[in-house]
Amino acid sequence: MKSLKDLLDNQNIKYSKKSFSSGYKNSKKKSDIFDFFELINNWIDVVGERLIKHTIPLKLTNKSLVVLTDHPVYSQQLSFMEMQLIKKIEAQFPNIQGEIKRIYFKADNNHFKKAIENKVKKEKVKVQAEKKWHPQSPEYKKAAREADELLKDIGDKEIKESLKSLYLQLK
């Protein structure tokens, strides 16, 4: 297996650790690079508790931020707050100062519907995982008897207990 340096040397490309360490070959410092995922993760600090449920930053291109909303009314209302939002973003992320000149709002309910569906699915799984029986509860005892009846022909005690445990977990 060849190293990256060897591959670059074979192609007559100059290699310097400094150019790769910052992620850019130009003179930008690592601290000057804006991480868009940080904006997404801290979006609540920009728009607040109520609007976080209805908006999400989508992309930043050509000094324009595109924000996805779940309804055209939010897009319209937020467009009136465009300069305030830019100032809040710049206050939250000083290294992006002057990089956002415009904010475009795009309404698309599908993204938010999928997010809500995924949240509901996760909550159902969580509730099912939390549904644990106490060993003395009637439900547990009934399921244990069913497992014993199903597994009565298995001779190896260790295998039988493992299968019984699995049966009770899946019940």
DSSP string, 136-148: TSHHHHHHHHHHH
Res. 168 pLDDT band, cuts 50 70 90: confident
Render pLDDT for 61-87 as a digit per residue (tens, 0 to 9): 889 999 999 999 999 999 999 999 999
Render pLDDT for 25-37 as a digit per residue (tens, 0 to 9): 444 444 455 678 8
Higher pLDDT, residue 41 or 125: 41
Res. 8 pLDDT band, cuts 50 70 90: low
Res. 13 pLDDT band, cuts 50 70 90: very low
CA angle 30, 36, 42 (to 5 degrees): 110
HSE, side-chain direction, 13 A CA sphere, residue 56: 12
pLDDT at 11 over 80: no
Higher pLDDT, residue 151 or 96: 151
Return all residues near 51 (Cβ < 8 A) that are at least 6 apart.
74, 78
Average pLDDT, the chain: 79
- In eight-state DSSP terms, residue 152 is T
The mean per-residue pLDDT over the stretch 90-101 comes to: 87
- Which pLDDT does position 19 carry in this prediction? 38
Strand 55-61 vs strand 64-69: parallel, antiparallel, or unpaired? antiparallel
